[in-house]
Amino acid sequence: MENLFHNLLTLLLFVTISHTLPSLAVSFPISPNFPAVFNFGDSNSDTGELSSGLGFLLQPTYGQTYFKPPSSGRFCNGRLIVDFLMEAIGRPYLRPYLDSISRQTYRRGCNFAAGGSTIQKANASSISPFGFGVQVSQFITFKSKALQLIQQDEELERYLPSENYFEDGLYMFDIGQNDIAGAFYTKTLDQVLGLIPTVLDIFQDGLKRLYVGGARNFWIHNTGPLGCLPQAVSLFGTDKSKLDEFGCVIDHNQAAKLFNLQLYGIFKKLPQQYPNSSFTYIDIFSIKSDLILNHSKYGFDHSIMVCCGTGGPPLNYDDKVNCGSTARSNGTIKTAKACNDSSKYVSWDGIHYTEAANRFVALHILTGEYSETMSSRNL
């Protein structure tokens, strides 16, 4: 407990120095008592899974603020929201499931999130083959093998989660962004909105499989304001009538809001469906929207302009040149370089947030003002 308060105090002081943030509320939504954490998602919480699984490394610009080159496999210049949450409860950063070389153990948890992943099953055009269903299957395999190895050699319990760690652990989810944002490349707004119930049905199937496998504590992030991502603005906002007064793509944000509304409706029903379980819903959309709309209030200079890019103003984004890379775009060779001070930017590379923005989101999660918990244990 002493380490927990030390970590919280250090984190709060560090954030307060760089940004104006509300004080931590008495309510602390994520308990330090969870023995292990198991995370599922996309690049918003990928700690190296896609990099490990497909055998490529991100450019050295990724991770330059905190982890330093070679990159940790995170799609950020530093830490992610999940990293700050683990710091807050005194847990080590979550190790990717497919990471074969690491000094970390899996005893305190494992991360199945992979960049580019969707709730829907991956197809030939998918960036990641590790859709939500695959991630759930990976977890089931991981649990089975871990318990089998511990049964064969009790000493391995120093490195792998035991049965009670799986039973009492926290299961975190941050996925769905790629299902919605990706659909806009081939579908109309009405078609995207019509797809949402199917996507959420698949998500519920995954939750059920985990529950049957012993999961009881669920932590669910909704999706952020997708229309405010520089990538979306660059590709879908050339017609200014498609943008709102803050420069965000209206259709993308409308789809994100409906996704969140339906996800919240599911959340309200889950405790009745799953006895002896607890569900926490985190309103990431509201936190990120507040940051983007009021960025200057919180010490940020740029809400939509990219830190690591080459497109020039107003977005500094070119979808043909990835952060840290050199490529040809419209007949010109360009290099996407990182800005001098990433702490002044919300967006890192046009799709992902900077460490400073992730820190902001994590601290607001920790206030407890943006979360709701329901438990069937009280029914």
The answer as to whether 379 is a domain residue is no
Average pLDDT over residues 279-305: 98
- Upper half-sphere CA count for residue 360 (Cβ side, 13 Å): 30
Tokens of 304: 């939509």
Q: How many structural domains is the chain composed of?
A: 1
Tokens of 265: 């409706």
Tokens of 119: 């709730």
pLDDT digits (tens, 9 = 90+) for 188-199: 999 999 999 999
Asked if omega into 314 is within 30° of 0 (cis), the reply is yes
pLDDT value at position 130? 98
pLDDT value at position 294? 98
Distances (CA, A) of 332 to 95, 319, 338, 350: 39, 14, 19, 20
pLDDT value at position 28? 60
Which among 24-28, 117-121, 375-379 has the top mean pLDDT?
117-121
Distances (CA, A) of 6 to 16, 73, 89, 322: 15, 28, 10, 38
Distances (CA, A) of 111 to 116, 125, 173, 205, 318: 15, 24, 10, 19, 30
Distances (CA, A) of 50 to 9, 42, 57, 73: 33, 9, 9, 8
For the chain, give the percent of residues with pLDDT over 70: 92
Tally of CB atoms within 10 A around 72: 23
The answer as to whether 310 is a domain residue is no
78 within 8 A of 4, measured Cβ to Cβ: no
Distances (CA, A) of 158 to 97, 150, 168: 17, 9, 17
The answer as to whether 95 is a domain residue is yes
Could you give phi then psi for residue 372, rounded to 5 degrees? -140, 135
pLDDT value at position 19? 40
The answer as to whether 345 is a domain residue is no
The answer as to whether 56 is a domain residue is yes
The answer as to whether 167 is a domain residue is yes
| 238: confidence class by pLDDT, cuts 50, 70, 90 | very high
Task: List, by residue number, the catalytic residues.
Answer: 43, 349, 352
What is the DSSP code string of 60-74?
A: TTTTTTTT-SSP-S-
Print the domain residue range for 211. Answer: 2-296+359-374
The answer as to whether 314 is a domain residue is no
Please say if the pLDDT value at position 147 is more than 70.
yes
CATH number, domain with residue 60: 3.40.50
Per-residue DSSP letter, 234:
H
Please say if the pLDDT value at position 79 is more than 80.
yes
pLDDT value at position 140? 98
Q: Which residue has the higher pLDDT, 15 or 245?
A: 245
The answer as to whether 267 is a domain residue is yes
| 5: confidence class by pLDDT, cuts 50, 70, 90 | very low
80 within 8 A of 26, measured Cβ to Cβ: no
Average pLDDT over residues 370-375: 96
Average pLDDT over residues 47-54: 95
Please say if the pLDDT value at position 373 is more than 60.
yes
